[in-house]
Amino acid sequence: MVRLQYRVFLLPGRPKTSLAEHRAIIAAVCAGDVDAAERAMRDHLTSFTRLLKQAIEVARLGGF
């Protein structure tokens, strides 16, 4: 699993996107905005899960 997570992180543009997602989560938490924090976290997890599923499929097909 860690190997696949690493592969996702190495996708073009992913580090920048991930950083922006984490910053949004932190900003919402620091502001005490529970709804925004939940939304930002869900967005981040949805984004990462989508890419992780793609990485799993590529690995299943022998791409890694």
Chain segment 8-54, per-residue pLDDT in tens: 878 889 999 999 999 999 999 999 999 999 999 999 999 999 998 98
Q: Does residue 4 belong to any structural domain of this protein?
A: no
Q: Does residue 43 belong to any structural domain of this protein?
A: yes
| Selection from 61, 56, 63, 62 nearest residue 2 by Cα | 56
User: DSSP character for 12?
Assistant: T
Q: Does residue 7 belong to any structural domain of this protein?
A: no
pTM of the predicted protein model: 0.79
Q: Does residue 22 belong to any structural domain of this protein?
A: yes
| Selection from 14, 20, 2, 15 nearest residue 64 by Cα | 2
Q: Does residue 38 belong to any structural domain of this protein?
A: yes
- The total number of structural domains that make up the chain: 1
The pLDDT, as a whole number, for residue 49 is: 92
Q: Does residue 9 belong to any structural domain of this protein?
A: no
The pLDDT, as a whole number, for residue 1 is: 60
29: Cβ contacts below 8 Å, ≥ 6 apart: 37
